[in-house]
A and B are shown apart, each in its own frame.
Chain A
Amino acid sequence: MRLSVKEMVLVSMFAALTAVGAFIKIPIPYVPFTLQFLFVLFAGLLLDKRLAFLSQVTYLALGLAGLPIFAQGGGPAYVLQPTFGYLVGFALGAYVIGAVVERVREKGIPGYFLASMAGLVVVYVLGVIHLYIILNYVVQKPFTLAQAVWFGAIVCAPGDLFLSLVASLVGGRVYKTLQSVNPVHREVF
């Protein structure tokens, strides 16, 4: 994989933005949530798919290397947290969002929303699988898959749907502005 300097710096920026997103908490009734996923969405919607993927890998690596940039801290032991699967999902999700949006970009907001949904599904699938594995094999308690889906996906869906909506509404505008205002970015985007 060959990367230009500009691509590398952009990847780092999105990794840093995702980290910043973990610190901004938005209180919504019942399920307060953080903005991490919003920046995963933007990485996928604005960057090329492999850059989006790399940005989340960088974020993940930094968190595991001991930066407290995940929702509840960081460090290698974070792998044990039942929510770690979502973070792995971010990387694959960002890639999927990038891959889908490539094809439907000209459809505007519905296209962006479709791509976001595809990414959300990937994040949830990985999140639920990890939750299921941790509960069944580390905590060693038989949780059914249905229970894992309920706690791992349905309960937190409203907040993430809200963020997907925000990203689809804003994403297109940001993408266009970047292309028209700043010709420097054309080779990247």
Chain B
Amino acid sequence: MQGNITLGFYVPGQSFIHRLDPRTKILACLAMTMAVLFCNHPAGFAALSLVTLLALGLARVTPQLLLGILRPFGIFLVLALLLQLLFTPGRPLMMLGPLQLTREGVHFGFQLLWRLVLLIISGSLLTLTTSPLMITAALEDLLKPFRRVGVPVFELAMMMSIALRFVPTLLEEAQQIIRAQQSRGAAFTRGRLVQRVQGLVTLLVPLFASAFRRADELATAMEIRCYRPGANRTRMHQLRFHCRDYAVLAGTGVLFLIVLVMRWWG
């Protein structure tokens, strides 16, 4: 977690995908995810893989970056593949002691692996090319209809932005407090249970005190500036759809429909 936490996985850039409207990217990402989940035809998989490859190229994602994205899912992916390979009944290909590798196992195993990899990549393309603040703004806009049923959409977006701003501050503070208390002899990682509880308390009390003080100051500052929760607010950078957004939306929409058609009539 080195570097700037508030940017998350975001890699700043000026590629075609970077310049798309964040709402387009969220919708396209959703369409791709659904398409990958519904797809059961080799041609569909080929098309989805090609589109994903194209998007990776357009976003200028390097192979190293791609590996970095997949690494946290490594154990999960390997486990999924192995379970399919070794425990699918069917025509045997070869024997490995008591286990047997079957034709069906290889087929299902790699199909599953490919499906998962496509899902992870299409999700990550969104977060690689869009900063969390932009995603928040886009979510606020996309979820607007839910205000009718009482979901505090504007407030949630604001709370996400505030939390985003305070994660690094509080993290740094927590680390400082841990070091300070350790230098005074607090035990977080050794000693008996009682000592560890006491160690945790010496971290929690100052951390809470500081968090509540900051919350208080910020709330006062916001109230002084007449911030009203839920009021219609304008923003510095208005989100706007361009031609490229319509093109991308139409493209992913068509792809999604093709996959659906192949599933039910193919």
Interface residues of A (CB under 8 A from B): 1-6, 8-13, 15-17, 19-20, 23-24, 26-28, 38, 42, 54, 57-59, 61-62, 65-69, 72-77, 80-82, 138-141, 162, 165-166, 169-170, 174, 178, 182, 184-185
Contacts and interface: CB of A to CB of B under 8 A. Distances in A.
Interface stretch (B46-54, B55-63, B79-87, B245-253): B79-87
Q: Which 9 pairs show the lowest CB-CB distances between chains A and B?
A: A66-B127, A77-B123, A12-B162, A76-B123, A15-B163, A16-B166, A65-B135, A66-B8, A12-B163
B123 A75 contact: yes
Interface stretch (B93-101, B210-218, B258-266): B210-218
Contact of A174 (B126, B203, B205, B215): B205
Interface of B: 1, 5-6, 8-10, 29, 33, 72-73, 76, 79-80, 83-84, 87, 108, 112, 116, 119-120, 123-124, 126-127, 130, 132, 135-136, 139, 150-152, 155-156, 158-160, 162-164, 166-167, 169-171, 174, 178, 188-189, 193, 196-197, 200-201, 203-205, 207-208, 211-212, 214-216, 218-219, 222-223, 227, 229-230
By secondary structure, the A interface counts as: helix
A43 B76 CA distance: 31
A45 to B, nearest CB: 12
Contacts of B214: 13
Contact of B1 (A23, A75, A174): A23
Given A9-B222, A67-B6, A165-B197, A24 B167 contact: no
Contacts, number: 191
A66 B130 contact: yes
Given A82-B76, A169-B197, A65 B216 contact: no
Contact of B83 (A66, A72, A141, A178): A141
A10 B72 contact: no
Given A8-B162, A24-B178, A62-B164, 7 more contacts: A2-B230, A11-B159, A27-B189, A58-B159, A140-B108, A140-B112, A169-B197
